[in-house]
Structure 1
């Protein structure tokens, strides 16, 4: 019985690793934020850092 569990666990880990690799590839290939959205977020972060209301300053 223990050998059967070990074989099943090995197969489940192999399937999980393969599926995770597939999902990461698909997200990297098709996913991500569009460049315009990333630029907008970067601009908002820059505006926030330079705001006079910001208490913390990072060099």
Structure 2
């Protein structure tokens, strides 16, 4: 079982089942929260951007 569905996951033997996270959205949300903190805005919220299970041969 892998995490972040790295490019090599599909080429391993057996092909590795992985969890795919929306990395671009994670980065964008982190930047928004950081910029908010720099502006004095404090947010105590939980952010859930979800994930996707990519089933391959290793499962």
Return the TM-score normalized by structure 2: 0.35
Normalized per residue, the structure richer in helix is 1
Normalized per residue, the structure richer in strand is 2
- Using CA pairs under 8 Å that are at least 6 residues apart, name the structure with larger relative contact order, 1 or 2: 2
Structure with the greater alpha carbon radius of gyration: 1
Return the TM-score normalized by structure 1: 0.35
